[in-house]
């Protein structure tokens, strides 16, 4: 539905609601949580393969991990989950986990170190899209059984070199770190696929919820695991219903037929906030909106020009208008709530300053092309930037295209400027540092399309080495400082104009407590929710 249609329907509903009142509000049962959410991005629920938001929500509630994040205290970082403790060898390359005793999978099978080893080996051997989260530690299909092994109640993982323990453990809290029931999975193996085909649509976990069903584009149903080692969740049943349209989600919420609406647009958020019995909760998510300048362009590679572009963004104007409630200003590559995140946002909208910088660089009558994917908010940001740039004497031609068209050119280093979004892959600062500020080989032949610095032909000028150093630093405070320093330098020198960080707004019935979408670092958790 286009923006006009959305506004029209939002306005119509708003008007009607303001002059009338709803029929007697229904209520979902006290032990049941009903959520309206867009779940059409789920392509698989195999944790070795799942890499989408809605799929990660399922995994977070169905599978246990060696270590995981507490939804009630995300700032504390990883905590023991299926592993009760861990020790790091002297050379810093081997971590030995001690498994929790007495925990069972939903099948009734005990959770063992052998299951944990199998799960991680499996993810490495299958080598699906998120496998890089593990393989970056030197695990390969060939060495997986030696580097990840179980002995009794212990699981040992040996990395190819010393890494910060927090880096390794943070990665193990990601979806790919989920521990699956080896016996159940292998009983469903077909043609040596390690149960991949079966696990795409079934589950074999030990988490607080059991998956009852996933009907694509329709619903996800879970029931509580009464044997969960952390205690049976208060919500005995969780139903996530696929409701695409924001206005429909709002009606369901205001009628009391659901407890949480997760995809209300700004108009419906504003309307629902006025309704009786509804509260709105904001959480910062990991997605960053940014503009990147291709350093192959002779003018865009000048340091003053890179600086000038950072003053050509109407940060506050956009935040307070079409991005209202959806994004906040953020000018660093680590999203707020991440380890090492910086709250410094030194750039503001300043045309005169930009003009001075452009003049200092000797740039006149610059004409550039900016590639934007066909998403409304991105196009609007592009247009705002186009207007500001025009005032500084820069002609910006906006090319709007599909993901295939724009991304293909971005990945091939062909665009002058790219306007897009980036979300972290796992809850460790390396996830973004390793792509924004890391580029060991800037040659075309390197073809490092996964690195944003490479896509923009940016030789990071020493930041690559600093990122390498931060990822092996074991002192947590020192590591935090290193990322803050890297970001300070990055803000000043990089060709990236990081502008905004996403906010997720959930609308809840006011009897729902302890709701968490997982902030920037993880996914939604249901087991701590009460009503």
Partner 1 sequence: MALAEDSGKGRVRASLPPWIKTTILTIGSIAMTMLGLLFVTFIIGRVMPIDPVLAIVGERASQSTYDAVFLELGLDKPLIVQFGYYIWDVLHLDFGTSLLNARPVSEDIARVFPATLELATLGIIIGIVIGVPLGVVAAARKGSWIDQVARVLALVGYSMPIFWLGLMGLLIFYGILGWVGGPGRVGIFYVDVVPSVTGLILVDAALDGNWDVFKNAFSHIILPASLLGYFSLAYISRMTRSFMLEQLSAEYITTARVKGMSEWDVIWKHAFKNTRVQLITVIALSYANLLEGSVLTEIIFSWPGIGSYITTALLSADMNAVLGGTVVVGLIFILLNILSDLLYRVFDPRAK
Binding site for partner 1 (CB under 8 A): 1, 5, 8-9, 12-13, 16-17, 20-24, 28, 32, 34, 40, 42-44, 51, 127, 129, 132, 197, 200-201, 213, 215-219, 221, 239, 241-245, 247-248, 251-252, 254-255, 257, 401-405, 407-408, 425, 435, 447, 449-450
Least distance in Å: CB of 406 to partner 1? 10
What's the min distance (Å) between Cβ of 502 and partner 1?
16
Q: Of 17 and 361, which CB lies nearer to partner 1 in the complex structure?
A: 17
Residues contacting residue 49 through CB under 8 Å, at least 6 positions apart: 126, 128, 129, 130, 196, 200
CB atoms within 10 A of CB 267: 18
Of the pair 74, 258, the CB lying nearest partner 1 is at 258
Strand 32-37 relative to strand 237-242, pairing = parallel
Nearest residue (CB) to partner 1, 32 versus 329? 32
Tell me how far the alpha carbon of residue 33 is from its chain's centroid.
Answer: 24
Largest CA distance in the chain: 71
In the chain, the N- to C-terminal Cα span, in Å, equals 34
Partners of 69 in beta bridges? 78
Q: Smallest gap, in angstroms, from Cβ of residue 179 to partner 1?
A: 22
- Minimum CB–partner distance for residue 32 and partner 1 (Å): 8
Give me the least distance between CB of 135 and partner 1, in Å please. 10
In the block, tokens 């410094």 appear at 344
Nearer to partner 1, 13 or 172 (CB): 13
What's the Cα-to-Cα distance from 460 to each of 296, 306, 467, rounded to whole Å?
13, 13, 10
Which is closer to partner 1, CB of 336 or CB of 400?
A: 400
Distance of alpha carbon 223 from alpha carbon 208, whole angstroms:
9
Provide the minimum distance between the beta carbon of 237 and partner 1 in the complex, in angstroms, as a whole number.
9
Q: What is the C-alpha to C-alpha distance for residues 432 and 470, in angstroms, rounded to an integer?
A: 12
Q: Are 111 and 105 in contact (CB under 8 A)?
A: yes
* CA dist., res. 59 & res. 399, Å (int): 38
| Minimum CB distance to partner 1 smaller for 37 or for 466 | 37
Q: From CA 17, how far away is CA 404, in angstroms rounded?
A: 41
Q: Could you tell me the smallest distance in angstroms from the CB atom of residue 296 to partner 1?
A: 19
CA dist 406 and 195 (Å) reads 36
CB of 523 to partner 1, least distance (A): 16
Asked if 173 contacts 78 with a C-beta cutoff of 8 angstroms, the reply is: yes
C-beta neighbour count of 477 within 10 angstroms: 8
Nearer residue to partner 1 within complex by CB, 221 or 328: 221
For 339, other C-beta atoms within 10 Å of its C-beta total: 19
Beta sheet of 154-158, edge-to-edge order: 83-88, 94-99, 154-158, 148-151
Name the nearest CA neighbour of 294 among 420, 185, 170.
Answer: 420
Query: Which is nearer to partner 1, 115 or 428 (by Cβ)?
Result: 428
User: From the CB of 60, what's the least distance to partner 1, in Å?
Assistant: 19
- Looking at the Cβ atoms of 43 and 188, the one nearer to partner 1 is 43
3 vs 213 by CB, closer to partner 1: 213
Cα–Cα dist 478/331, whole Å = 22
Quick one: which H or E segment has residue 366? strand 366-373
248 or 442: whose CB is closer to partner 1? 248
Min dist CB 42 to partner 1, Å, is 7
Q: Is 248 exposed, middle or buried (0-12, 13-18, 19+ CB in 10 A)?
A: middle
Q: How far is the CB of 128 from partner 1 (least distance, A)?
A: 8
Decide if 35 contacts 238 (C-beta within 8 A).
yes
Rounded to the nearest whole angstrom, what is the least distance from the CB of residue 235 to partner 1 in the complex? 13
Q: Which is nearer to partner 1, 238 or 370 (CB)?
A: 238
């Amino acid at each position: 539905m286009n923006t006009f249609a959305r506004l029209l329907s939002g306005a119509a509903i708003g008007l009607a609601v303001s002059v009338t009142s709803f029929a007697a509000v229904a209520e979902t049962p006290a032990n049941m949580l009903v959520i309206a959410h867009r779940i059409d991005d789920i392509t698989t629920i195999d944790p070795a393969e799942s890499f989408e938001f809605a799929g990660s929500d399922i995994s977070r509630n169905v599978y246990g991990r060696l270590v995981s994040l507490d939804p009630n205290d995300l700032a504390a970082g990883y905590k023991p989950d299926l592993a009760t403790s861990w020790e790091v060898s002297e050379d810093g390359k081997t971590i030995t986990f001690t498994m929790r005793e007495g925990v069972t999978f939903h099948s009734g099978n005990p959770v063992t170190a052998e299951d944990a080893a199998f799960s991680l080996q499996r993810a490495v051997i299958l080598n699906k899209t998120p496998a890089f989260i593990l393989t970056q530690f030197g695990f390969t299909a060939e060495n997986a059984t030696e580097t990840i092994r179980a002995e009794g109640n212990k699981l040992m993982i040996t990395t190819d070199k010393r890494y910060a323990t927090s880096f390794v453990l943070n990665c193990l809290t990601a979806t790919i770190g989920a521990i699956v029931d080896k016996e159940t999975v292998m009983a469903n193996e077909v043609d040596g696929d390690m149960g991949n085909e079966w696990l795409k649509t079934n589950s074999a976990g030990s988490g607080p919820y059991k998956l009852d069903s996933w009907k694509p584009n329709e619903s996800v149903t879970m029931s509580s695991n009464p044997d969960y080692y952390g205690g049976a969740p208060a919500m005995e049943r969780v139903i996530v219903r696929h409701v695409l349209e924001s206005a429909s989600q709002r009606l369901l919420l205001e009628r009391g037929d659901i407890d949480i609406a997760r995809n209300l647009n700004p108009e419906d958020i504003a309307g629902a906030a006025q309704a009786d019995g509804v509260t709105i909760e904001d959480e910062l998510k990991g997605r960053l909106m940014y503009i990147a300048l291709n350093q192959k362009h002779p003018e865009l590679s000048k340091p003053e020009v890179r600086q000038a572009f950072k003053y050509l963004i109407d940060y506050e104007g956009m935040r307070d208008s079409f991005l209202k409630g959806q994004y906040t200003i953020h000018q660093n590559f680590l999203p707020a709530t991440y380890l090492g995140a910086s709250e410094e946002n030194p750039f503001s909208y300043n045309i005169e300053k930009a003009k001075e910088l452009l003049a200092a660089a000797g740039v006149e009558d610059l004409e550039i092309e900016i590639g934007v994917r066909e998403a409304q908010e991105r196009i609007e940001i592009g247009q705002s930037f186009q207007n500001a740039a025009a005032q500084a004497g820069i002609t910006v031609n906006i090319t709007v295209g599909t993901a295939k068209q724009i991304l293909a050119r971005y990945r091939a280093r062909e665009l002058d400027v790219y306007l897009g979004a980036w979300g972290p892959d796992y809850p460790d600062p390396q996830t973004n540092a390793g792509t924004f500020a890391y580029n060991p080989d800037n040659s075309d032949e390197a073809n490092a399309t996964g690195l944003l610095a490479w896509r923009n032909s940016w030789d990071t000028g020493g930041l690559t080495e600093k990122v390498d150093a931060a990822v092996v630093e074991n002192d947590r405070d020192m590591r935090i400082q290193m990322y803050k320093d890297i970001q300070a330098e990055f803000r000043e020198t990089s060709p990236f104009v990081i502008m905004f960080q996403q906010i997720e707004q959930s609308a809840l019935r006011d009897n729902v407590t302890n709701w968490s979408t997982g902030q920037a670092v993880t996914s939604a958790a249901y087991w701590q929710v009460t009503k």
